[in-house]
Amino acid sequence: MSDRDGKIWKDGQLIDWRDANIHILTHSLHYGMAVFEGVRAYKTDKGTAIFRLREHTERLFNSAKIFQMNIPFDLETVMQAQLQVVRENKLETCYLRPLVWIGDEKLGISAKGNKIHVAVAAWPWGAYLGEDGLNKGIRVKTSSFSRHHVNVSMVRAKASGYYINSILANQEALADGYDEALLLDTDGYVSEGSGENVFIVKKGKIYTPDLASCLDGITRDSLVTIARDLGIEVIEKRITRDEVYCADEAFFTGTAAEVTPIRELDNRAIGDGKRGAITEKLQNVFFDAVAGRTPQYSHWLTIV
């Protein structure tokens, strides 16, 4: 991805895409402590808009706080940087990647004294789990890898190093011919996908795991709000994998994955083995919201 035209915001300045480099001895590259966001901008009638910009930026700052990484910019500046990157690259719809990392002053576990850097890049990115996945649903496999334990990793942070676990799970699922992995927590309860939160629908009610071992997803929060506004009850609780097998519907949510139906888990068809009616309804309301077609949710959008 390094050989492209365009601009990347790095430490307060817009620089050429090809010049947005780091040194090989960058601390974060060696030990995995960096925090990041995944954000999307969508085309609306009023122009391109970033979806839930403030919430993503606040989560980035909270992630940094958890690791005692002092971001040398304020929240407003990092929000403006994201708007600027979309604008400068003339992107109509795109994915944004804000990243905070520890510099190359020295190596060793202690990062004390090393500089904290911030960058924001943006590029066009279509349906993460495929257009077909959005329409027909995907096939998922329960992972042999467990999701994070609360006293090993602090999952309120969206941290680069945590994604080793995600990559292992995703690699395994793909190698076995599935589209994505579902990870269980260390007690064996359903946690989340490698990069998505998970929901099930049973008898008209929606269930999703509590936040003990999964990321506090912003799409998750949006879907909970949308469902409750539609009068559908949403319950956060521990979920077992066989509850997913026996659910009427299931779906993943995430900035990249948006709202992706799950049609099969571990070779068991979920419901009718296709996108369910409630999932489709929620998907439609979500895609209307991100495209600025729902005045009720216009506060989720920041026009570029």
Residue positions annotated with a catalytic role: 158
Residues contacting residue 224 through CB under 8 Å, at least 6 positions apart: 208, 234
Contact predicate 128/254, CB 8 Å = yes
**Please, what is the minimum distance in Å from the beta carbon of residue 192 to ligand PMP?**
5
Size of the site for ligand PMP (CB under 6 A): 15
Binding residues among 182-211 for ligand PMP as defined by CB under 6 A: 192, 195-197
Question: Out of 98, 103, 209, 254, which residue is the one contacting ligand PMP (CB under 6 A)?
Answer: 254
Contact predicate 67/33, CB 8 Å = yes
Residue (of 7, 169, 196) closest to 83 by Cα position: 7
């403006």: which residue's tokens? 80
- Quote the strand ranges of 75-204, DSSP E: 94-102, 116-123, 138-146, 180-184, 190-193, 197-202
Binding residues among 43-72 for ligand PMP as defined by CB under 6 A: none
217 counts as binding ligand PMP under rule CB under 6 A: yes
* CB nearer to ligand PMP: pick between 111 and 183: 183
Q: Please name every residue paired with 120 in a beta bridge, in sequence order, or none if there are none.
A: 9, 98
Which residue stretch of 67-75, 172-180, 215-223, 239-247 sits at the interface with ligand PMP (rule: CB under 6 A)?
Answer: 215-223
* CB nearer to ligand PMP: pick between 164 and 269: 164
Contact predicate 145/183, CB 8 Å = yes
**Please, what is the minimum distance in Å from the beta carbon of residue 251 to ligand PMP?**
12
Q: At what angle do helices 53-66 and 75-88 cross, to 10 degrees?
A: 130
* Distance separating alpha carbons of residues 211 and 62, to the nearest angstrom: 15
**Please, what is the minimum distance in Å from the beta carbon of residue 215 to ligand PMP?**
4
* CB nearer to ligand PMP: pick between 249 and 258: 258
Count CB neighbours of 172 within 10 A: 16
Which residue stretch of 4-12, 214-222, 239-247, 275-283 sits at the interface with ligand PMP (rule: CB under 6 A)?
Answer: 214-222
Question: Out of 27, 33, 35, 38, which residue is the one contacting ligand PMP (CB under 6 A)?
Answer: 38
Binding map of ligand PMP across residues 144-173, x = CB under 6 A, - = no contact: ----------------------x-------
Contact predicate 26/103, CB 8 Å = yes
Which residues lie near ligand PMP (CB under 6 A)? Answer: 38, 166, 192, 195-197, 214-215, 217-220, 253-255
